[in-house]
Amino acid sequence: MSDNAVKKHKLIQYANGRSLEEINGTVKVPRNISFGKALFMYSGPGALVAVGYMDPGNWSTSITGGQNFQYLLMSVILISSLVAMLLQYMAAKLGIVSQMDLAQAIRARTSKALGIVLWIMTELAIMATDIAEVIGAAIALYLLFNIPLVISVFITVFDVLLLLLLTKIGFRKIEAIVVCLILVILVVFAYQVALSNPNWGGVFAGLVPTGATFAEKPVIGGNNPLQGALGIIGATVMPHNLYLHSAISQTREIDHNDEADIARTVRFASWDSNIQLTLAFFVNALLLIMGVAVFKSGSVKDPSFFGLFQALSDTSTMSNGVLAGVAKTGILSTLFAVALLASGQNSTITGTLTGQVIMEGFVHMRMPLWLRRLVTRLISVIPVLICVMMTSGKSAIAEHTALNDLMNNSQVFLAFALPFSMLPLLMMTDSKLEMGKFKNAMWVKILGWVSVVGLTVLNMKGLPDQIAAFFGDNPTAAQTNTANLIAYLLIAAILALLVWTIVELHQGNKRLANHLKSEGVESAVEAAKVDGVENQEA
C-alpha cells in the first residue's frame, strides 16, 4: 500500500496546505458578466457568516432587552451589526489577498506554543456556542414533537449525519440551504412583528444611541441598560466568524497573478457579507421588537425558549386582539420553534467548518468533518445532560431556568477569545507587508481600532457580572466579591496573553520584512505573485 493510501486512511492527518482544501477555489466565476450575475456567483459565504449573528444565543438577549427597556437598545443592535460588517470585511480580505485564513496567518507569524494556546481558547469559544445550539435544537424538538429533553439532547448528536450528506452535494448547495434557513427565520419573525403593529416611530428613535443606552439605571428584571447592551454585543460579535470568513472567502477561484481579479473578489465578497449581515440585523431587530410589541410590557416572566414558546400561545400575554386570535391557534409558538430548529441546524454547518479551520491553521491537524462534529457535539452535550438530569426532579420552571442560565453562562468564553481574533486581524490587514496595496484605508484603520478597543473594554467590563451569574440570580456579597476577584484575575491573564500575542506578531513581521527585502519585493502579495509566475514558467 502506498504512503498516500495509508495517509488517506488515517483519521487524524498532518495539514499545512490551503485553507479548507477540499472546497478552496472550487467555485468558478466567469469574467465579463453583469454586476447582478457576479454578485449572485459570489454570494454565499456571507450567509454562512451571518448565521453566527442570529444563532440561539442572540434570541433571549434581544427579546429580554425589548421587554425591559422598550426600543432603547435598538442602537446597540445597529452598532454591533456595523462593527460586524467592518470586521468581516477585513477577515474576507485577509483570506482572499494573503491566501491564508486567520488561524494560518497568526500561526505563520507566531510560535508553536502560542498557536496551541490560541487554538484551545478558540475551541472553547466554539464549544460555548455549540452548547447554545444543543440547547436550542433540543428544546425545539421537545416543543414541536414532545420528545423528552434527554432524548432530544441525544438526537442533536445525529446532526452529524446531516453534515455527512451536505459534504457530498457541493459547497454552492450548502450555501443555498443556509440562505433558505435564514429566510425561514426572517419570515417567521417578520410575520409575528407585522401582526403586532409596533410603534415604528419608537423603533427608528431607538436607532440613535443616547446616554441612557449604556446607563446603569434603571434596573428592570435584574438587568440595567448597560448589562442588556453588553449581552447583545456579546451574543452578536463572535470570534469564530472571523476565522470562518477568512477561509470560505477563498472558495471562489481567483487568479492571484491578476490584481484586478483579487480586487474584484474583495469587492464582491464585501457586498455579499454586508447584504447578509443586514439580514442578520433585521432578524435581531425583529427579535427586540417582538419583546416590545408582540407581548404586553413585562408579561414575559420566563425569557427562556420554553417561556417564549408558552407566551406566544398565551392570549393573555399578547399586545392586541389580532395577535391573541392567532396565538390561540398555536401558529405563533409553532413558527417560533421551527425558526429555533432552523437556527440550530444552520449553526451546525458553520461551527464544524470553523473548527476544522482553526485546527488546521493553529496546530496543523486535520480530521474528517463528521468525526470532528461528533467529538465536539458529544463534549457539548455533556454539560447540557448534566443540567437536565440535575433538575429532572424539580419543577419545570427550575429546569427551564437552569438550561437558560447554562446557555447564557457558556458565552463567557467568547469574551476570552474575541480580542485574540480581532487584534491580529486588524494588525495584519493594516500592514503593507502583509497586504500590499490592499492594506486597510485610513478610515478603516481608525474605525477598526475604535471597534477592537471598544469591544475588548466592554467585554472585560461585563466579565464580573458574567462570572457572578454562575452563582445564580441573587448572589451574596461574598459570592459577588469572589466573582470580581476571579474576573480581575482572568482580565489580567487575558491582557498578559494579548501582550504575548502582539510581541510575537511584531517579531514575525520583522522576520517577514527581512525575508521580503532579501527577495527584492515590498509585500507578501508581490512575493506570492512572483512565486506563481515562476511556477507557471517551470
432-441 tens-digit pLDDT:
888 989 999 9
Confidence of residue 282 (pLDDT cuts 50, 70, 90): very high
CB neighbour list of residue 282: distance below 8 Å, 6 or more residues apart: 186, 190
Contact yes or no for 436/526 (Cβ under 8 A): yes
Residue 291: Cβ within 10 Å count: 26
Confidence of residue 7 (pLDDT cuts 50, 70, 90): very low
Q: Which residues pair with 13 in a beta bridge?
A: 366
Q: Per-residue pLDDT averaged across 494-510, rounded?
A: 92
Whole-angstrom distance, CA of residue 403 vs CA of residue 131: 10
Q: Within the chain, what is the greatest distance between any pair of CA atoms?
A: 76
Whole-angstrom distance, CA of residue 101 vs CA of residue 95: 5
Q: Which of 139-153, 268-282, 323-337, 362-376 has the lowest mean pLDDT?
A: 362-376
Whole-angstrom distance, CA of residue 115 vs CA of residue 365: 12
Confidence of residue 538 (pLDDT cuts 50, 70, 90): very low
pLDDT at 113: 93
CB neighbour list of residue 361: distance below 8 Å, 6 or more residues apart: 19, 100, 101, 102, 103, 104, 105, 106, 107, 243
pLDDT at 530: 60
103-134 tens-digit pLDDT:
999 999 999 999 999 999 888 888 888 888 88
Q: Per-residue pLDDT averaged across 333-358, rounded?
A: 82
In this predicted structure, the answer to whether residue 235 has a pLDDT above a threshold of 50 is yes
Look at 247 and 233; give whichever has higher pLDDT. 247
When the pLDDT of each residue in the chain is averaged and rounded to a whole number, the result is: 84
In this predicted structure, the answer to whether residue 513 has a pLDDT above a threshold of 80 is yes
Cell reading at 212:
441612557
265-288 burial, b at 16+ Cβ within 10 Å, e below that, comes to bbebbbbbbbebbebbbbbbbbbb
Contact yes or no for 262/532 (Cβ under 8 A): no
Q: Per-residue pLDDT averaged across 500-511, rounded?
A: 91
Residue 430: Cβ within 10 Å count: 17
Cell reading at 311:
407566551
Whole-angstrom distance, CA of residue 316 vs CA of residue 369: 47
Confidence of residue 529 (pLDDT cuts 50, 70, 90): low
Cell reading at 448:
477598526
pLDDT at 34: 92
- Sorted by where each starts, the structural domains of the chain and their CATH numbers stand as 27-528 (1.20.1740.10)
In this predicted structure, the answer to whether residue 485 has a pLDDT above a threshold of 80 is yes
pLDDT at 523: 75
Q: Per-residue pLDDT averaged across 271-299, rounded?
A: 88
Contact yes or no for 63/302 (Cβ under 8 A): no
Whole-angstrom distance, CA of residue 266 vs CA of residue 97: 8
Whole-angstrom distance, CA of residue 413 vs CA of residue 362: 18
Cell reading at 209:
444611541
Confidence of residue 469 (pLDDT cuts 50, 70, 90): confident
What one-letter code names the amino acid at 13? Q
What one-letter code names the amino acid at 366? R
Report CA torsion sign: 212, 214, 215, 219: positive
Contact yes or no for 268/38 (Cβ under 8 A): yes
151-187 tens-digit pLDDT:
888 888 777 666 666 667 777 888 888 888 888 888 8
H or E, element range at 230: helix 225-236
Confidence of residue 32 (pLDDT cuts 50, 70, 90): confident
Residue given cell 448597560 in the structure block: 226
What one-letter code names the amino acid at 435? M
76-98 tens-digit pLDDT:
999 989 999 999 999 999 999 99
In this predicted structure, the answer to whether residue 268 has a pLDDT above a threshold of 90 is yes
372-424 tens-digit pLDDT:
777 877 787 888 888 888 877 777 777 777 787 777 777 667 767 888 899 99
Q: Per-residue pLDDT averaged across 255-277, rounded?
A: 93
Confidence of residue 452 (pLDDT cuts 50, 70, 90): confident
Q: What is the DSSP string of 53-99?
A: GSSHHHHHHHHHHHHHHTTTTHHHHHHHHHHHHHHHHHHHHHHHHHS
Whole-angstrom distance, CA of residue 366 vs CA of residue 144: 37
Q: What percent of the chain has pLDDT over 90?
A: 28
pLDDT at 528: 66
Whole-angstrom distance, CA of residue 409 vs CA of residue 407: 6
pLDDT at 500: 94
What one-letter code names the amino acid at 188? V
Look at 128 and 139; give whichever has higher pLDDT. 139
SS3 of 180-249: the string is HHHHHHHHHHHHHHHHHCCCHHHHHHCCCCCHHHHCCCCCECCECHHHHHHHHHHHHCCHHHHHHHHHHH
Q: Per-residue pLDDT averaged across 474-503, rounded?
A: 90
Nearest to 280 by CA among 110, 46, 465: 46
Burial level of 205, CB count in 10 A (0-12/13-18/19+)? Answer: middle
Q: What is the DSSP string of 340-404?
A: HHHHHHHHHHHHHHHHHHHHHHHH-EE--HHHHHHHHHHHHHHHHHHHHHHTTTS-HHHHHHHHH
pLDDT at 450: 92
Give, to the nearest 10 degrees, the angle between helix 171-196 and helix 321-329.
130
Cell reading at 14:
498532518
Confidence of residue 4 (pLDDT cuts 50, 70, 90): very low
pLDDT at 74: 93
Read off the DSSP letter of residue 223.
Answer: B
pLDDT at 166: 66
H or E, element range at 204: helix 200-205
In this predicted structure, the answer to whether residue 1 has a pLDDT above a threshold of 50 is no
Cell reading at 503:
510581541
44 torsion bin: left (phi>0), alpha (psi -120 to 50), beta (else): left
Q: What percent of the chain has pLDDT over 70?
A: 92
pLDDT at 167: 64
Query: CA 239 → CA 275, 421, 522, distances in Å?
Result: 20, 6, 30
pTM of the model: 0.88
In this predicted structure, the answer to whether residue 496 has a pLDDT above a threshold of 50 is yes
Confidence of residue 345 (pLDDT cuts 50, 70, 90): confident
pLDDT at 2: 40
Look at 245 and 392; give whichever has higher pLDDT. 245
Burial level of 494, CB count in 10 A (0-12/13-18/19+)? Answer: buried
Give, to the nearest 10 degrees, the angle between helix 412-430 and helix 442-468.
170
